[in-house]
Amino acid sequence: DKISNPTIIRESLHSKTYNITKNQYLGDIKYKLLDDCGRITLLEAGAGVGKTEMVKSLVNDGKKCIMVMPFTSTIKAKVENDPNWSFSYGNKRPRLDAEHGLSMTIDKFSHLNMMDIKAAGFDYIFIDESHLLFQSEYRPVMPKVIDMIRNTEVPIILMSGTPSGELAFFSDAVH
């Protein structure tokens, strides 16, 4: 009855709102956003405001980031040809010794050890299109990924324009 955003199941206890102009993108306010991030953060932003480009910009600034993407085609289109990024999908294993950015599919991420990620010095983990984690095709890896998110010391930013189960599973997330 008290939910103000009908697209989410549960309101966050820790909400932040940022406004950008029609000529701005999330990359323009990335450090302000990161200053307010918690250990788990849900970044709800619509299509075309630059969620993926913000992560790429952080990597260009020298941050070491993992970006989990749901589709091989997205990795190919967004980061595969960028020299600052390593990537993993199909038969290619994730390399935690990547210098800057490491992008992978959700299934590849589900096989990683969170302590190894921390030891490798990653600053952030971004999960793009995080609402897809709660769809039936990801059920085989969903419990493992949810457990990984809950138990990491590396800040995780879930990114979605249409969040679904994020706040139901991560009630302490900054949103």
Q: Is the dihedral of CA 104, 18, 4, 148 positive or negative?
A: positive
pLDDT at 62: 95
CA 154 – CA 157 distance, rounded (Å): 10
Higher pLDDT, 161 or 76: 76
- Confidence grade of residue 8 (pLDDT, cut at 50, 70, 90): very low
121 close to 5: Cβ distance less than 8 angstroms: no
- Confidence grade of residue 6 (pLDDT, cut at 50, 70, 90): very low
CA 42 – CA 166 distance, rounded (Å): 7
55 close to 103: Cβ distance less than 8 angstroms: no
- pLDDT tens figures, 10-35: 444 556 666 677 887 877 777 887 88
CA 61 – CA 13 distance, rounded (Å): 31
pTM: predicted TM-score of the whole model, two decimal places? 0.86
Residue 113, token pair as written in the block: 């050890």
- Confidence grade of residue 76 (pLDDT, cut at 50, 70, 90): very high
Average pLDDT along the chain: 85
CA 84 – CA 99 distance, rounded (Å): 8
pLDDT at 9: 45
CA 46 – CA 54 distance, rounded (Å): 13
| Dihedral pair phi/psi, residue 134, rounded to 5° | -100, 10
- Confidence grade of residue 122 (pLDDT, cut at 50, 70, 90): very high
- Short-list 72, 75, 73, CA closest to 85: 75
The bridge status of strand 65-69 relative to strand 101-105 is parallel
Poorest-pLDDT segment among 35-39, 115-119, 156-160: 35-39
